[in-house]
Structure 1
Amino acid sequence: MAADTATSKQNLVILGGSYAGLSTAHYLLKHVVPQLPGKEGYQVILISASSEAMCRPACPRALISDDMFPQDKLFVSIPAQFEQYSKDTFKFIHGTVTSLDHQDRCVTVSVKDGDTEKINCHAIVIATGASTASPLLGLNRDSETLRANWNEFRAALPTAKHIVIAGGGPAGVETAGELGEYLNGRAGWFHSKLENPKVAITLVTADSKILPILRPALATKAEKLLNKVGVTVIKKSRVTKVSPPGAGAGAEDALTANTTVTLEDGKVLQADLYIPATGMTYNSSFVDASLLTDYGRVETDPGTLRVVNGGALIYAIGDVGSHARPAVHNILNTVPILCANMKRDLLLAVQQDASVGEDRHFKEDTRETQLVPVGRSKGVGAFMGFRQPGIMVWLIKGRDYWLWTTGGLWSGKHWAKES
């Protein structure tokens, strides 16, 4: 049954309930809506397919066991994070956006109870992110589904003798490192590799090195660290076929199926568990194709975060937008800029004068920045072009995969001050 949301409010609608969506909602509620004329006439609506937010970077370790992280910190209720605001200014909708009409500025949502709801929007922020190839490595649907996938994987793990992971980026390397150390331990100080690991783990990458964003010396160090936990790296070889089709990618009965993995050079690997960690699918199927790039990202002005050709008061932020490389630090740097430009646009809609100021512009920092844990205590990385020692990689990310930062983001404390 379809319902049309009727309200006298001006709806500022945010699509997506992860880093970008929650941060934008908090920032608007704290620093934009209170400064608008007739502020009581505005309402922030957050729409998310999951009622819980979670620390997605922690998945490579969290998928092994619930004991790896405190679950009440790994997963948090989204509605609970917004109880601090008046019910007149914020609304949460648990559902999936199925269509966006950018010309009339409205969205259609399939809500959790099965109904369909149409919402008229004054402004729209697309923050739906991206889905991972493996349903073990991200909140592709909702938290219940992710937990169920982890439980299925954990049940199959004790009998696995060979695990194949496709993808040499951070997700693949981190997953291989976590599983390697958990299942095999780590080779001693004077050994370059772990001999006769209990579980063979093979990491396959099409690139000439793993971790393509990092310099070769750091990629080489990461490969050596993987060798010490029983991981073998195959480079310059792409996975061309898996059997059964959809193995490891969430196909029915195939998440933990025994898998035949065929590489482009004809080599065949037999895997008890197969984990595809290759790239992402951007969550933009509900967006008109005229607003998308060839890769499925929402075409976004790299400076202002407005959607190109989207019309007035439509923005994109986070992984789904084309403005920057998908990375949490890019999300955090863009939130204040998007919200400042939205405030300017909202003010211009009611007062046509120069007092609203000029646009703010985002400029991506393209210096080498990436931290990659390899197991519980090791890792490689660089920050703003400077190589980081392993102890710093562990201290900043490796000890809990950023879980120390998410509490402030989910609650909005991170955005207490306007910036």
Structure 2
Amino acid sequence: MLDLQELSLNIPDTAKPRVVIVGGGFGGTNLAKKLSDKYFQVVLFDRQNYHGFWPLLYQVATAGLEPDAIAEPLRKMFDEDYKDFHFRPVRVTHVDPATKMISTLVGDLSYDYLIIATGTKTNYFGNEQIKHFSFPLKRLPDALNLRSQLFQSFEQANMTKSESVRQSLLNIVIVGAGPTGVELAGSLAEMRKHVLPGDYPGMDFSRMNIYLVEGLERVLPPMSPKASRKTQENLEKLGIIIKLKTFVETYDGEVVTFKGGEQIQTRTLIWAAGVMGATIEGLPETTVEKGRYLVNEYNQIQGFADIFAIGDIALMKTEKYPKGHPGVAQPAIQQGIHLAKNLKRIQKGEVLKPFEYFDKGSLAIVGRSKAVADLPGNLHLSGFVAWVAWLFVHIYYLIGFRNKLVVLSNWIYRFFTYESGTRIIIRPFYRKEDKVAEEFMRKQAE
């Protein structure tokens, strides 16, 4: 068995300034791609060895796409042209600004410039019970766990003798009506109508209830009221049960209880209710506000000239964005590209230029020909035109030609057939305390 002590970062020494980037998301990868190894040695850290296109994660969870269709290996993104680029799939555990050193599970490394682009993680608001029993949707393993849970539930519902157990298995509760929750609810509704009746001809899927729960007064709170109204209309036409101004109090894996006492029997509660910054230990608490690093107009973390934060983890307050930029891909992409230019300016002794965000708009899809778009110039689109715009934008920003081709061909095929991919339970999901499921799967494997 390999011992961690046998591993090291194995980063070569350099006479050039070393730029350490923590996080291989939209911000980190765009920054690294724009940095020339003529001026810098670039070291990228991420816990996983791929860059994921998370806006399509819900389609992996509902078997619309396979995991490798929305992910690209980080090493493949940086070929031999990036001669002084180094990637290591390890987690950064600590930052020491005094010694300009970062710590990882397999060793330490000095830096000249540190860029934190760690993004966000699921926020359970301190509720450990919900954290344990619910299904988040932030990473590929989350999507695969949820996919297994959904199709296992359908199979179990088809085999159970108990009506109450069957109903519990067919009830799906999605908490959080932001883009992830809305798009997931729409995808499940279309699956309920067009796919599942063919797979399970003996089951009545009119009894499959999809609940979308939101604590605020409307769905899609980040988008315009007009987009929210249209989205709610589309969701209701699809048969989604929407519960606004509703908060989850507890969930024990079988019963979700809302504040006020209402309860729903369900084996599947999907948590899309919020995120929080994935901060790193070592920086002063004064640099963090509401889980994000406070940065100036150059993305420098408050109090530091050589430590930067970009993307969702960065809180840059401006007159137009007093609460910081929206937590979507575009601010991360633009900040990564802009910071690369500023780092080059530092090396050349030039004056830094402040970051200015260009808002390209927001999009959300509910189902076939059902989407909404808030575009610059106070332009709002809905229906087929917004749906086409959503398709184009998501294909455009996918990494890799192969991924673009695979996703596009999948969508074209689904447009004509309503098929939602290969509904295969590759790795069954069960919780450790579920002894019945564990015993059943053990005997299945014998």
Structure 1 residues 57 and 86 mapped into 2: Cα distance closer, same or farther (>3 Å)?
closer
Is residue 211 of structure 1 aligned with residue 203 of structure 2?
no
- Matches for 1:304-343 after TM superposition, within 5 Å: 304-309=298-303, 311-323=304-316, 324-343=325-344
1:156 deviates by 2.7
Structure 1 residues 328 and 392 mapped into 2: Cα distance closer, same or farther (>3 Å)?
farther
Q: Give secondary structure in 2 for the equivalent of 1:402.
A: helix
Structure 2 counterpart of 1:282: 277
Letter in 2 for 1:268: Q
Structure 1 residues 392 and 219 mapped into 2: Cα distance closer, same or farther (>3 Å)?
same
Q: Give secondary structure in 1 for the equivalent of 2:90.
A: strand
Q: Give secondary structure in 2 for the equivalent of 1:374.
A: strand
Is residue 362 of structure 1 aligned with residue 371 of structure 2?
no
Structure 1 counterpart of 2:230: 221
1:86 deviates by 4.2
Structure 1 counterpart of 2:14: 8
1:98 deviates by 0.4
TM-score with structure 2 setting the length:
0.73
Which of 47, 50, 57 aligns to 2:48? It is 50
TM-score with structure 1 setting the length:
0.78
Which of 255, 265, 269 aligns to 1:270? It is 265
Structure 2 counterpart of 1:235: 244
Alignment RMSD, CA only? 2.7
CA deviation map 1:330-386 (0-9, x unaligned): 1222223212222222333xxxxxxx2x3211234579x321100243111211221
Letter in 2 for 1:327: V
Which of 112, 115, 119 aligns to 1:125? It is 115
CA deviation map 1:27-76 (0-9, x unaligned): 113xxx43xxxx3xx310010100011110001222111xx236543121
Letter in 2 for 1:343: K
Structure 2 counterpart of 1:388: 381
Letter in 1 for 2:137: L
- Matches for 1:55-66 after TM superposition, within 5 Å: 55-65=53-63
The more displaced of 97-106 and 287-296 is 287-296
Which of 166, 169, 187 aligns to 1:178? It is 187
Q: Give secondary structure in 2 for the equivalent of 1:108.
A: strand
Q: Give secondary structure in 2 for the equivalent of 1:184.
A: helix
Contact 1:55/1:403 (<8 A) preserved: no
Structure 1 residues 197 and 364 mapped into 2: Cα distance closer, same or farther (>3 Å)?
farther
1:92 deviates by 0.5
Structure 1 residues 232 and 270 mapped into 2: Cα distance closer, same or farther (>3 Å)?
same
Structure 2 counterpart of 1:24: 31
Structure 2 counterpart of 1:73: 69
Structure 1 residues 409 and 334 mapped into 2: Cα distance closer, same or farther (>3 Å)?
farther
Structure 1: gaps of 5 or more residues: 111-115, 187-194, 244-256, 349-355, 412-419
Contact 1:184/1:199 (<8 A) preserved: no
Which of 86, 95, 118 aligns to 1:91? It is 86
Q: Give secondary structure in 2 for the equivalent of 1:17.
A: coil
Percent identical residues: 23
Q: In structure 2, what is the Cα distance between the partners aligned to 1:201 and 1:13? A: 44
CA deviation map 1:261-296 (0-9, x unaligned): 111222112212100111102110434243533311
Letter in 2 for 1:201: I
Q: In structure 1, what is the Cα distance between the partners aligned to 2:56 and 2:193? A: 20
Q: Give secondary structure in 1 for the equivalent of 2:35.
A: helix
Contact 1:183/1:198 (<8 A) preserved: no
Q: In structure 1, what is the Cα distance between the partners aligned to 2:290 and 2:186? A: 29
Q: In structure 1, what is the Cα distance between the partners aligned to 2:269 and 2:135? A: 12
Structure 2 counterpart of 1:138: 138
Letter in 1 for 2:290: Y
Structure 1 residues 56 and 221 mapped into 2: Cα distance closer, same or farther (>3 Å)?
same
Q: In structure 2, what is the Cα distance between the partners aligned to 1:117 and 1:84? A: 26
Q: In structure 1, what is the Cα distance between the partners aligned to 2:284 and 2:392? A: 39
Structure 2 counterpart of 1:249: none
Structure 2: gaps of 5 or more residues: 124-133, 158-168, 196-203, 317-324, 404-446
CA deviation map 1:277-325 (0-9, x unaligned): 1110211043424353331111111x2111111x222111111111222
Q: In structure 2, what is the Cα distance between the partners aligned to 1:285 and 1:316? A: 11
Structure 1 residues 156 and 207 mapped into 2: Cα distance closer, same or farther (>3 Å)?
same
Structure 1 counterpart of 2:426: none
Q: How many residues align?
A: 356
Structure 1 counterpart of 2:292: 297
Structure 2 counterpart of 1:353: none
Q: Give secondary structure in 1 for the equivalent of 2:311.
A: coil
Q: Give secondary structure in 1 for the equivalent of 2:91.
A: strand
Q: In structure 1, what is the Cα distance between the partners aligned to 2:149 and 2:50? A: 21
1:242 deviates by 1.6
